[in-house]
Structure 1
């Protein structure tokens, strides 16, 4: 798969973590002009946004926008946006959606990405959904990605006016069926500096990871399985 045409604009959701950094590198490799999009949504720390800024610059994004969207105003529902909940340090029960799930987060962020892509004259959105080594979030499944892509083509001027598959919106989730180790190996082959990334749910202001939360656990296991030294900065 390659870009529709050289330097076609694409919006990439960039959290500052390992997965989204790899996805940005993939989009660049495919020949897209990458417009990185991050959100200050009320998450527990801003160090992941500092990481996103570093990653966008080092991987050559055309521009990087950070949108303020305060999901803390909707009290309850997630340990990432409500301090009344503790970030869990052990896996939940099988098939249980964890308390770190943020209600409708990917749908909200993809909707903003869709608006920016259409304004840019682009037809491609990339995000780091993963259905293998992940936390069980409902908005990271292949069915969800297909559903949002269908919505994108129903809800936009471009989608309604298009009569060809080649001129319709596409939502790309290139790592959705990859293990964490495979994601790390792919990122390394594309020149991603994972020491710049922050995946921890509760990193401190300097970006130091707790080493205990589920995101840290999955990241550690990924580097171990890949046989690559873990460059994460831990507390």
Structure 2
């Protein structure tokens, strides 16, 4: 990929495979890249941050930030942040919005990234949202990012010129795997499981989506699973 004309990019990196591939794309397209990891009290928070730091080390990214959004966990309302809500058994045929949806989470992420981008003078925010092959989250849709881009335009300095880049939003997981392999993404250093255990559980929605993606791509997932 050719490098785009850019004054810098902020990349939201959760530590998952989608954000890792998005990060690799951002690195290939921009001379100046800052990684941003947001802790919000998820079950897998420690494991996700460990994955994030491993990715920073792999790519030798020294410009990174780790910050907290404690309100998302204190509010609860999601199986990812509220221990009183049980994680359901995974399903690839689930319809509707699952209990793992964290209400309006990606808006908080984008707002935080926008603040950082404006401070750093960066004009792009990369996020690894996936619409086609996601779990039905409303804040993973293209229409949401189009609307938020307009909110950024209205709510930042006139010369900020910040746009949101969603390079994998139309990809199936299998294509994300293929793109990651092409770009040399170290999938062994990524974490997708909703649980924060040593080995991925292999049966939550996120694990099932990941495993299907690797299977459809015709390659093995390098992660260890408790159950496949």
**TM-based fold match above 0.5:** yes
Q: Which residue number corresponds to residue 171 of structure 1? A: 164
**Contact map agreement 2:8 2:30 (CA 8 A) in 1:** no
Could you say which residue in structure 2 is the equivalent of 1:37?
36
Tell me, which stretches of 5 or more residues in structure 2 are unaligned? none
CA-to-aligned-CA distance 1:64-102 (integer Å, 9 cap, x gap): 211122122113x20000011111223387541000000
Residue matched to 1:11:
10
CA distance in structure 2 between the partners assigned to 1:133 and 1:32 by the alignment? 30
Equivalent-residue separation in structure 1 for 2:207 and 2:25 (angstroms): 23
Which whole-Å CA distance do the structure 2 matches of 1:105 and 1:232 have between them?
26
TM-score (normalised: structure 2): 0.93
1:35 deviates by: 0.7
Question: Equivalents in 1 of 2:93, 2:203: separation in Å?
Answer: 17
Summarize deviations over 1:188-229 as a string: whole Å, max 9, x none.
11110101101000131x3x1000100000000000000111
What is the alpha-carbon root mean square deviation over aligned residues? 1.6
Aligned residue pairs, count: 223
Aligned pairs for 1:206-225 (under 5 A) are: 206=198, 208-225=199-216
Q: Show the counterpart of 1:193.
A: 186
Counterpart contact for 1:96–1:136, Cα < 8 Å: yes
Contact (CA 8 Å) 1:92, 1:98: kept in 2 or not? no
How far apart in 2 are the matches of 1:186 and 1:92? 22
Q: Which residue of structure 2 lines up, in the alignment, with residue 74 of structure 1?
A: 75
